[in-house]
Structure 1
Amino acid sequence: MAALGVVLAVGFRASTARADPSFALAWREGPAPTACVTEAALREVVAEKLGRDPFTARERADIVIEGEESSAGGRLRARIRERGRDGAVLGSREVEAESCPRLVRATGIVVALFAKAREEGEPEEHRGGASERAVEREVAEPERNVPTASPPAPNPPLPRERPPRSAPPRPLELSLGLGASAALGLLPSASAALRAIARLERARSRWSFEWTAGYSVPQSFRSQTVRGTLSAFDQQVRMCLASVRQLHVRLDVCGGAFWGAVIPYTAGLTERNETWRPLAGPVGALAVQLRAESGRAMRLELGAAVPVVGRTLYFHGIDGEPERVHATGTVIVFLGLNGLTNL
């Protein structure tokens, strides 16, 4: 029985070790003359704190720790983020210091705590408190060279009797962008439109919400008795579900509502000139989104709207009978390309 217990214990520890997440470091350095925090310096500080190098190649990592530095009000600042394999932001932290050595060390402490806490399965609220205290100590201490001796003892865990810090709300990512689209069935011939888009995504969720609006370039028409131009304005509100959600690629299936108006500017129509003709109906779309490490993205979508409320424009012919100028299609098909950036 003792031998069996040893075998089970060894197997359990091996399984736990295999379950530890793997990490990659992706630090965006500033311009060479003014760069303060470098990836090499961060790796040295993290190895000192953990007693080993915890990082692996990015393509094999479960979690990517990324960041960059900036300056504000004479102080140096660094921002560190954790991203999962699917690109979702798992956590972020900003540190400030008055000098490069202090900023390098404080940033390295945060990166080491991120990696150490994930491997030990420490709750996020405990990680936040330990990270703040460790960074404040490092910034407050006098500047010193990085020691070559063995790493210091790890920070003591937060006492259980102390009430934990409240967990921060799960982050929401807002993206804004501009683009262009083409449509069939909205105006007399294929139409081109300028579009604006706003997307709201929640970390670790496949659901997202988006709003988009567009203005279609006017089209001219002319006959013996009537002439003018037609343009259009439309809006779409959609909920999207990601059927594919990876670090840099996302495939969404979207559905929602479409409404807008055909805007005539004519002479000779039986209806009052420049009166907007409303449109409304359901809309569906497929969208592919490619995201860069900088947070910018390109989004290509193909969709269709079915106007439950459509519009037909008439004029009186020579014989007095009404003749049709234009009627919106029973289905409006559109193809769009948008550029997005995270706020």
Structure 2
Amino acid sequence: MGILRPAAECLCEDCKHRILTRGWKPDQLFPPDNDCQACMETAMRTAARYPEGIIPSSSLQKTGQLTPEQFRAKVIRHEAAHAAVAHLLGMDVTRIYVGDTREDPVELGSVDWKFTGELNIEALAEVSMAGWVSDRKWLAENGLDDETHLVSVSSESRADIGVVLGRGAGGATVDLGVQRAEENWSDYAPYINAVAEELTYFDGDLTPLVMRAVIGEVDDRRRRSSAPSTAQPPARPSAPTTNTAPISGGSVMSTLAEQARNALNIANEKADFVRGALQQAGLDIDDIIAQLAQVTTDAETVQQASGIYQQAKADLEKLQGLVNTAIDTTQQHAGVL
């Protein structure tokens, strides 16, 4: 489980409620906001009982510790939530990474993204707080949403809240980010879970290219499985830009459509080369595996190498599937332009 601050044991009910519902802000060290007399009095009484300065985590309701595997699964979906929501809100995700939480629970993960045009602080808040919303829902889904774990993930939310506050926004913007992530969760969840699955498969290091292909695959499945309906996807905040000149007129729109089709055709041509290269790489790996099988030795190193090549072949086949899905998706889009 994440680091549970001893201060959590001394929270008064009002401060506990505020932290559980609004997150643990970076400046809320202890007592929260440094001005809660009730928390201070509890801390002094508690510290008097433990002169060695170690306050055991015992006073909060608790169902049990998260195993290292559970903690890693929670962190992976937390980062997947940041990445998927950022992409869906029009941001350019450049990195998705989860460290070796099994060895170092402090080394969690990170998602980097770039903004297009002027920063939309409300979209940033939704992306930042999607991780905390994911944590709370993950705990509930796994029957672990007790006070200890909820306070712990609230404490872990400090960094994400700090991203929003660091841009000059206030607590109301953070609250809005939480509200929007909660409201849109049912729409976001299929994408988040798919990205989390791939992030797990690639052991915490997922390329943005694979993430975009996975999201495209989810879009494709939803299109195929859904009948015509009036249901609308979650409203995405507009991305302000310095170019405010309106585009109008049939000839201009036609030119833009033609440019888009040309760009998609070029992309698919390059993707065909990628697909061919992956197919050839798969054949070469088959040859390598066959050659290693002829080595009449029980050497562990040769067997290990063969196993690695077989895993590489499986990874290539999975990557080929993603490339095929991406090509199909762009072809469908080109057909409607």
* Structure with bigger gyration radius: 1
Larger RCO, structures 1/2 (Cα 8 Å, 6+ apart): 2
More strand as a share of residues? 1
Q: TM-score, normalised by structure 2?
A: 0.19
